[in-house]
Structure formats: structure tokens, C-alpha cells
């Protein structure tokens, strides 16, 4: 919600705090470590010990002895784990992110080992680990071409030093080739686009600082980057994860990358690729596959902070219907709550009998309802949620008492989701609330965690909050905590972009979780641990597939939740930034992502809202959301925006089968729903930094207008043939790829389908439940004018309420689609897995459209399932010549035609085949 945005101007006033800041950091600290022993472990790994070479006290004393563990965990994943050899250190809990445990620490460590290994290279199937003993450094190489992917050694000329390992300061660097394209390291709003920009700050520490702030640490922490390179004309992609939840600065200089971390361990995972999609597959195999989303989640969502009573919500739903704009889900921010307290219903503005009647009404037509839940539990002795929380001892502590903070209801305690009892209590509160109001999903916000106050606070003898004025002004009695090394660590990460104290406007970092875990270490895991608890609770309610939207995320969050990009502004710049952030979250394994359409605040212009819905209609998660203090901006508020919405969302609802199939692909392989163009065109360097267009899946490209006053858009078209999805007769073909200026009047968004694809579509509708039952059509694309070509696609269908998304349960169907054009004969056929579910639903394919065929005569001799189609049949076969864009030189491309077959009645759940002859121009 809103408080962070109001802090943006305030942040500017904050001066840097005492202590060494990153800008004055000594370039090189110490002489590093030397390897004193190494041996093979029974599980095929390697265990070594490192001894500090020369102690110093910059940022505290060095840890004298380290344990090194190296293992090729799979054919394409290498782990390098470095920790204190004598004392257990904080790591991301193994029960939150399940993974192999490294060897236990040895109590007595000598300088020599039995049969020490002298070899300096450990080779796996795809990656090679090598090391230098003194000073210790390691490198990771790709086996197939010998290229170095990571190299921690430091030379005199390097701007970074040897590895540093202290209790509250860890540093390690890697050299990089100049031409490597890097992506990831979020969450932040990147003004330069999806490629990491040398010199930009990359700080990872979860904070409620609005997404309008550029190049600062935002709501999530994802210490992973993807590295895409061209080597001898071939492209190779790999990924590097540093699994560490402590605050960190990452300095990217173009030819090197340096991590500076305030705790934890070095726990590196290297994913070999070699393509962008295989990297994501390997990464999500490790961190967890993205959660399956229900079908309705791909419909359009409407929210606003400020729907003061139920009648306003009812009016919004009715107004969308009157305007004939699709709407699947209506949301409430905290307006439905009683005194802004979680799991309550306001008896005056949202009387329960009327709310239940409303929910019954919308549920009967397939619409859904979602509400917000913040982690802060109001301190109120008459509030049952609080009473049960105190009784179960579920809150984060400070000096043995529940830590006091302030959020919307006033004074609050924060549940400790690292505590198993808290997870049980949270699930029970969700169950109780669901009995009160049968909501269809939960929106967990403010979970960085956000706090309107800073430090150690007590509840004053006055009304707090007052009920007048902004609710995010701190009204508790608070004093700063600076007397512990956890609240004031020796190294200051660049928190909020200004090296603010790490406990500023959040939980004090010396507060304590379950089993003595410090907030200092676990801070960035808060939203992740809440996501896991919420997912478990919702899945246990009715055994249905949960839908959860979380603001704060960490490595592995995509297994449980969707994400939106937080408090953005209704500006053209923020519209552009939304694309980069969305694409980054696909790389992070959180494919269900979107931004507040038209901006969270202030009011967008009418023109901007037109253009934003034309982009937002193609976000994986598509939601309009606005702030309490902004004028209304539902899509029907302007007639021009309503028209753009009917056009763009109308197409989205026709594409729902495709989006849902991408959801399945994401769940089984991690493949992002929205992707940068280089995922499909890895060798086409023009698209490496492209952040103004994106792909849905491998082949559907969105090229929106992102600038004020423009009625054209200059779009990059990689080599091949592209077909307008709104006007399939329109073709853009280029041999080497090129920029093309496309017409884009106010209500038009350009979306193109690439060659060699088969796209499943339906007829659309105003609610996904209705749209889902309409007949299917298939769009087949061949390279324009090709006489020999192939295309393929797929379609996944299931009962989307089932918690698992898989084949073989009797409630799902998967259809492989194939097509060829060969010497004048066009063939299209399917291979169906588990056809029973689709057959029971009665789904049929009614129309097939094939684009890019070479031919001059009319199509003829149509056969369906081996039988000729007689003239008396209702099936119609027609063709028309396709048009090439005026900016494209057609050159030697032969005449290209589009063929349409209508009036079919092919069951989706059964294999089918069809073919026809084309007149060929020679």
C-alpha cells in the first residue's frame, strides 16, 4: 500500500549515518586465505579448509579458519559453500528452502589430512571447479568450451581484493568479460532496462520503499544473476545464485562483480544452462517450481484502496459489465476491515449478511473476491486474533517481550513465521476468517516487514493513530537502538539508496525470532516465510489451488505466490519500468507478475491509462489498482480507456488457453510466462538489452506505445516472419531482423505471432469461466511464402481447482499440435494425452487459420480425419493474400496466403488430422 511513497521525499532528507559507508570502503581488505587441506567426501564432494593469511580489524576481526565444500550436485549444478570451520553460522533455513546439507563442522582440525588431494580441478558433466591454494581463489569453467564463468582471484590491477570473511562482513568478487550481458539482482526499479548497468547500485535487502525509487533495494531480495555470452559465434547462458539472506551490496563494474554482505555464509550455486530457458529450468529445479495458478487468475482484476463500503464494490462490478469490459476478480484493500485489523469485517460498511449475499452472487457467475492481509496484528485486548496470538506465543520478541511496531491498526506485533506454532496459529486464523467470509485468495502486503516507526517503541497514553491525517505517521513513543552491533553493523549497505540504518521503518534487527534467530539474519526472509505459511493454510482449507499475491519475495517465493511490483506512479516512465521488473521476476522464478495498471498514484492522464491497459492486458498478472488519495481510475471511467480495454482485454481473454498453457509450462519447467526477446533469439544481439517489448511464451510479441503523444511505435522484429494477431493478414518478414515503424492509434496495441507456431485461442468473454467454454480456434504460422515448413504448439487443460497441476489424475488433458506444409500439401494434426477430461467438457475446435502459405491457386481437396469434405458440408475453406508491411522489402519472398477452415467440430480430447492441397506458384 501507500506509506512508502510518502516517505520518498522524507528519505532525501536523511543524511548518511555514522560508520564506514560503501563509498568510503577500502578497495582491498587483507590478504585473503590459504588452502591448508582438501579431501574427497563420501558423497562425491570435496572438503577443504582455509586459513586467514593476515588478520585485520576493518569491519571486525577475520574468522581464522573456514570450511570449503564443493560438490557437483547434478550434471548442470555446482555448489561452492564456504563457512566458519569452527562455529555454526546463519544460513537460509533448510526447512524453508529444502536442499542438501553440507558436511558437519569438524571439532578438531589439523593442518594435514590423510591422503590429501593434490589435483586442482574437479570436473563434472558440464562445469569444472578449479582453485589456487595461496591466496585461495576459485574458478568455475564451462567444460564444453573452457570458458571461465566465475573467477574470484584478484590481481594488483583489479579494483577488488581477495576474499574476506568476517562475522559481519563478507566480500568476494568475480571477473567478467566485457561483452557479457547480465540480468537479475533484484528487486529494484532499473531505469536502464533489463540488462544490468555498470555503476548502478544493486542492494538486496527487503524494505517498504516505493517502486518509484530507482536503483534502490525494494520489496524482494533475489541474489541471482543470469549471464548471457557469445563465444566463437555461439551463445551460452549460465546463472549464479548466492544463497544468502543477509543485506548485501553488489557492485557491477562491467568487467567485474563484487559482493559485500553483512553476515551469513558464501553459498554459491552455478547453473550451467547453456540456454536461457535451460538455466531457468535448472534454477527452479533447485529453488522450487512456480506455483500453478487457477484459470481465473489469468482474468482481469480490479482493486482500489478506498472502496469505502460494499455498495461501491457492487457498483464497480456492475459498471464493468455495463461497459462490456472483462472482469474476473474484485479486490478489497483494507476498507473491508474493522479498524484495519486483519481477519475482520467492518460491520457498518461491509455488513456480513450483505457481503455473503454479494459473494454468492458473483461466485454463481464465476467471479472471485480477494482481500488484503498485513502481517502486523493489532495490539488490542478485545481482538480475538491478538488474544490467540499472545496465548500461543507467536510474535517476534525484543528482550523477551513481543516487539511493538506500528502499521495501519496502530500498535502491532509481528508474527514469527519461523516458529512452527505461528504457522499453525496463522492457518487457524485464515480458517476462521474464511468461515466469516469465503474469499478466493489472499493478498499479503507490507511484509518486508513494513513499520511506520523505527527503534524500540512503547504505546503512548493517547489515541494512536488519531484517525485524522495520514495513517502512516508514527505515533508511538520510540527511541533509536544503536547500541548493538546488529542494529549498527560496521559495514553500511546502501539501504534505501542512502545507507539508512537497516532497522529503519522495519523490525529492529536485534529483535529475536524462534530458536534465537536474529532479525538481522532473517529479515529478508520475512515475506517468504509468510508466503509458505499462507499457502499451507489456503491449501488446507478446501483442498483447492491457492492464489496468493505477495509484495515481499525471496529466492523460492514463486513456488507459493504471485507478485506485483508495488507502489508505482501513474507516469510514462513507470509504465516503461514495469516491463523490466516483470521480465526480471520471470528470471527469479516468479512468473505470475504484473504492475498496478495505470499506476498506484497519482491519477494518470487519460492517454497514459489507454496505453497502460494495452501493456497491462498482457502482463501475466493483470490488475488495475489505485491509491486512496487518487481519483477513481477504473477502466470504464473514461470512454477512450474503456475502448482500449475492450480491445486489449478482449484479446487477452481469447488468449487465455495459451496463457494457461504457459502457466503449466512454468510449473513443470520454470519457463517464464513473459520473457525478454533474447530468450527466443539468443544469438540476435539487438535484443539483449531490449526492454520496451516482450514475449509471452516463445512466440507472441507485444510491442506497446510507451511514450506520450505517439501514434506509432518503432518495434524490433527479429529475423523471420511475424503476423499481427489482431489482423492476421498483416505480415512482417525480415531476413536479418529490423526495426519497423508500426501504426498504433490510441486504441491499438501491436501483438505479433512468430513463424512455426500453433496458437490455441477461444472466443473470449467477460468472465474467464464463460470464455473457457467457447469453441477453440487454432492459428498456425509458417515462414511467409515457404513451400516446406513445420509448426507446433500445445494446449493444457485441467480442473483448475485441484491443488496439483499435472497429467494422469483424470482431470487434465494435454494436446500436442503439429503442422507441415510440404510441396503443396498442408497437414495439421494432434496427439492427445489424457483426453478424457477435455471430452467430458465437450470442448471443440471450430476454426483453423494457417498463415504464410506459399500458393497462388485456391486450397482444395480438404480431408478431415482421413475423409474428404463434401461440398454439402458446413465446413468452409477460404483463402486470401497476405499483406506485407510498407517498411519491409519483400524482395524474393513469394506470394503468401492465409487459409481459413471454418465450421469444424473436432473434439479437443481426440486425436484429429486434416489436410488440403494448395495451388503452387512456380
- The tally of CA atoms less than 13 A away on the side-chain side of residue 9 is 1
Q: Is 567 a catalytic residue?
A: yes
Residue among 567, 607, 800, 834 flagged as catalytic: 567
d(CA 853, CA 896): 5
d(CA 243, CA 553): 14
d(CA 371, CA 444): 9
Which residues touch 635 (CB under 8 Å, ≥6 apart)? 302, 320, 323, 325, 609, 613, 624, 641, 642, 645
* Entry field: residues in the chain: 922
**Bridge partners for 812 per DSSP:** 798
- Burial class of residue 87 in the structure, from the number of CB atoms within 10 Å of its CB (0-12 exposed, 13-18 middle, 19+ buried): exposed
The DSSP code sequence of 834-859 is STHHHHHHT-EEEEEEEEEEE-SS--
- CA 445, 447, 452 angle in degrees (round to 5)? 95
- The tally of CA atoms less than 13 A away on the side-chain side of residue 340 is 20
Q: In the 8-state DSSP scheme, what is residue 195? A: B
- CA proximity to 408, closest of 208, 604, 114: 208
Taken in order 505, 510, 511, 513, the sign of the CA dihedral is positive
Query: Taking a C-beta distance cutoff of 8 angstroms, is the pair 162, 30 a contact?
Result: yes
Residue among 217, 416, 445, 665 flagged as catalytic: 445
- Omega of the bond leading into 135 within 30 degrees of 0 (cis): yes
Query: Taking a C-beta distance cutoff of 8 angstroms, is the pair 33, 50 a contact?
Result: yes
Determine how β-strand 622-624 pairs with β-strand 674-675.
unpaired
Q: In the 8-state DSSP scheme, what is residue 193? A: -
Q: Is 179 a catalytic residue?
A: no
- CA proximity to 903, closest of 846, 848, 828, 829: 846
Q: Is 121 a catalytic residue?
A: no
d(CA 871, CA 889): 39
Question: Which H helix or E strand runs over 653?
Answer: helix 639-654
Task: State how far the alpha carbon of 300 is from the alpha carbons of 295, 326, 367, in Å.
Answer: 11, 7, 10
d(CA 72, CA 76): 8
User: What is the largest distance, in Å, between two alpha-carbon atoms of the chain?
Assistant: 92
Question: Which H helix or E strand runs over 612?
Answer: helix 606-616
Which residues touch 370 (CB under 8 Å, ≥6 apart)? 301, 329, 330, 331, 332, 439, 440, 441, 442, 443, 547, 549
Cα-to-chain-centroid distance, residue 553: 9
SS3 string, 703-714, reads: ECCCCCCCCEEE
Residue among 76, 162, 208, 448 flagged as catalytic: 448
Query: Taking a C-beta distance cutoff of 8 angstroms, is the pair 499, 16 a contact?
Result: yes
- CA proximity to 651, closest of 615, 694, 679: 615
Q: How far apart are the first and last CA of the chain?
A: 64
**Bridge partners for 378 per DSSP:** 412
The three-state secondary structure class of 601 is strand
Query: Taking a C-beta distance cutoff of 8 angstroms, is the pair 701, 747 a contact?
Result: no
The DSSP code sequence of 352-412 is HHHHHHHHHHHHHTT-EEEEEE-SPEE--TT-HHHHHHHHHT-B-EETTEEPPEEETTEEE
Catalytic residues: 445, 448, 567
Amino acid at each position: 500500500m501507500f506509506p512508502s511513497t510518502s516517505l520518498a521525499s522524507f528519505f532525501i532528507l536523511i543524511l548518511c549515518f555514522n560508520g564506514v559507508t560503501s563509498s568510503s570502503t577500502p578497495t582491498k581488505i587483507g590478504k585473503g586465505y590459504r588452502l591448508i587441506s582438501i579431501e574427497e567426501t563420501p558423497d562425491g564432494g570435496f572438503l577443504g579448509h582455509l586459513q586467514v593469511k593476515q588478520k585485520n580489524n576493518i569491519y571486525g576481526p577475520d574468522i581464522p579458519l573456514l570450511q570449503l565444500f564443493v560438490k557437483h550436485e547434478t550434471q548442470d549444478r555446482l555448489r561452492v559453500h564456504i563457512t566458519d570451520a569452527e562455529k555454526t553460522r546463519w544460513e537460509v533455513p533448510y526447512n524453508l528452502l529444502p536442499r542438501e546439507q553440507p558436511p558437519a563442522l569438524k571439532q578438531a582440525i589439523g593442518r594435514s589430512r590423510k591422503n590429501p588431494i593434490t589435483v586442482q580441478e574437479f570436473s563434472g558433466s558440464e562445469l569444472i571447479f578449479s582453485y589456487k591454494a595461496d591466496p585461495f581463489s576459485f574458478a568455475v569453467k564451462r567444460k564444453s568450451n573452457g570458458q571461465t564463468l566465475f573467477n574470484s582471484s584478484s590481481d594488483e590491477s583489479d579494483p577488488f581484493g581477495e576474499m574476506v570473511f568476517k562475522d559481519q562482513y563478507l566480500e568476494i568478487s568475480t571477473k567478467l568479460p566485457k561483452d557479457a550481458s547480465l540480468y537479475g539482482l533484484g528487486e529494484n526499479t532499473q531505469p536502464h532496462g533489463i540488462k544490468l548497468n555498470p555503476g548502478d547500485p544493486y542492494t538486496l535487502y527487503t524494505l517498504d520503499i516505493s517502486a518509484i525509487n530507482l536503483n534502490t533495494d525494494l520489496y524482494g531480495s533475489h541474489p541471482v544473476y543470469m549471464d548471457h555470452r557469445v563465444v566463437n559465434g555461439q551463445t551460452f547462458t549460465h546463472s549464479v545464485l548466492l544463497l544468502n539472506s543477509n543485506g548485501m551490496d553488489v557492485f557491477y563494474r562491467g568487467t567485474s562483480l563484487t559482493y559485500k554482505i553483512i553476515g551469513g555464509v558464501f553459498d554459491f550455486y552455478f547453473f550451467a544452462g547453456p540456454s536461457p530457458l535451460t538455466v531457468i529450468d535448472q534454477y527452479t529445479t533447485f529453488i522450487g517450481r512456480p506455483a500453478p495458478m487457477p484459470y481465473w487468475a489469468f482474468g482481469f482484476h480490479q482493486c482500489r484502496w478506498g472502496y469505502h463500503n460494499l455498495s461501491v464494490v457492487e457498483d464497480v462490478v456492475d459498471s464493468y459489465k455495463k461497459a462490456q469490459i472483462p472482469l474476473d476478480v474484485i479486490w478489497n484493500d483494507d476498507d473491508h476491515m474493522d479498524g484495519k485489523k486483519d481477519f475482520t469485517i467492518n460491520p457498518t460498511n461491509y455488513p456480513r449478511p450483505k457481503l455473503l449475499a454479494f459473494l454468492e452472487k458473483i461466485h454463481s457467475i464465476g467471479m472471485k473476491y480477494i482481500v488484503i492481509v498485513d502481517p502486523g496484528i493489532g495490539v488490542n485486548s478485545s481482538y480475538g486474533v491478538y488474544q490467540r496470538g499472545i496465548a500461543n506465543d507467536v510474535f517476534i520478541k525484543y528482550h523477551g517481550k513481543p516487539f511493538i511496531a506500528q502499521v495501519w491498526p496502530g500498535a502491532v506485533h509481528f508474527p514469527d513465521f519461523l516458529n512452527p506454532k505461528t504457522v499453525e496459529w496463522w492457518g487457524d486464523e485464515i480458517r476462521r476468517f474464511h468461515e466469516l467470509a469465503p474469499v478466493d485468495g489472499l493478498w499479503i502486503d507490507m511484509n518486508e516487514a513494513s513499520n511506520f516507526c523505527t527503534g524500540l517503541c512503547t504505546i503512548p497514553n493517547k489515541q494512536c493513530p488519531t484517525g485524522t491525517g495520514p495513517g502512516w505517521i508514527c505515533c508511538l513513543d520510540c527511541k533509536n537502538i544503536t547500541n548493538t552491533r546488529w542494529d549498527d553493523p560496521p559495514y553500511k549497505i546502501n539501504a534505501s539508496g542512502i545507507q539508512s540504518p537497516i532497522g529503519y521503518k522495519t523490525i529492529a534487527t536485534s529483535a529475536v525470532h524462534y530458536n534465537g534467530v536474529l532479525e538481522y539474519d532473517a529479515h529478508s526472509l520475512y515475506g517468504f516465510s509468510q508466503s509458505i505459511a499462507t499457502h499451507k493454510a489456503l491449501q488446507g482449507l478446501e483442498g483447492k489451488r491457492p492464489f496468493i499475491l505477495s509484495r515481499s519475495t525471496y529466492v523460492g517465493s514463486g513456488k507459493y505466490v504471485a507478485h506485483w511490483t508495488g507502489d508505482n506512479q501513474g507516469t510514462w516512465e513507470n509504465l516503461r519500468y514495469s516491463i523490466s521488473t516483470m521480465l526480471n521476476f520471470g528470471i527469479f522464478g516468479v512468473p505470475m507478475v504484473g504492475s498496478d495498471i495505470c499506476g498506484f498514484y497519482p491519477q494518470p492522464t487519460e492517454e497514459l491509462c489507454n496505453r497502460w491497459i494495452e501493456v497491462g492486458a498482457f502482463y501475466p498478472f493483470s490488475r488495475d489498482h489505485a491509491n486512496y488519495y487518487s481519483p477513481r481510475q477504473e477502466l470504464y471511467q473514461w470512454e477512450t480507456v474503456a475502448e482500449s480495454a475492450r480491445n486489449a482485454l478482449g484479446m487477452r481473454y481469447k488468449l487465455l488457453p495459451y496463457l494457461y498453457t504457459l502457466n503449466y509450462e512454468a510449473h513443470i519447467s520454470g519457463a517464464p510466462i513473459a520473457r525478454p526477446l533474447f530468450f527466443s533469439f539468443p544469438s540476435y544481439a539487438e535484443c539483449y538489452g531490449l526492454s520496451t517489448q516482450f514475449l509471452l511464451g516463445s512466440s507472441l510479441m507485444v510491442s506497446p506505445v510507451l511514450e506520450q503523444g505517439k501514434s506509432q511505435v518503432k518495434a524490433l522484429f527479429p529475423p523471420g516472419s511475424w503476423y499481427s494477431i489482431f489482423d492476421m493478414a498483416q505480415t512482417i518478414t525480415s531476413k536479418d531482423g529490423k526495426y519497423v515503424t508500426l501504426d498504433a492509434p490510441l486504441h491499438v496495441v501491436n501483438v505479433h505471432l512468430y513463424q512455426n507456431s500453433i496458437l490455441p485461442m477461444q472466443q473470449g468473454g467477460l468472465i474467464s469461466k464463460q470464455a473457457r467454454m467457447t469453441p477453440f480456434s487454432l492459428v498456425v504460422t509458417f515462414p511467409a511464402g515457404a513451400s516446406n515448413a513445420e509448426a507446433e504448439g500445445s494446449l493444457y487443460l485441467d480442473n483448475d481447482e485441484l491443488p496439483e497441476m499435472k497429467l494422469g489424475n483424470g482431470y487434465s488433458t494435454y494436446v500436442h499440435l503439429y503442422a507441415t506444409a510440404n510441396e503443396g500439401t498442408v497437414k495439421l494434426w494432434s496427439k492427445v494425452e489424457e483426453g478424457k477430461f477435455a471430452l467430458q467438457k465437450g470442448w471443440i475446435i471450430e476454426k483453423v487459420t494457417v498463415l504464410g502459405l506459399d500458393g497462388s491457386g485456391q486450397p482444395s481437396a480438404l480431408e478431415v480425419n482421413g475423409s474428404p469434405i463434401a461440398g454439402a458440408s458446413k465446413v468452409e475453406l477460404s483463402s486470401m493474400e497476405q499483406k506485407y508491411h510498407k517498411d519491409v522489402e519483400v524482395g524474393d519472398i513469394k506470394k503468401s496466403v492465409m487459409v481459413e477452415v471454418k465450421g469444424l467440430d473436432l473434439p479437443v480430447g481426440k486425436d484429429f488430422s486434416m489436410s488440403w492441397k494448395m495451388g503452387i506458384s512456380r
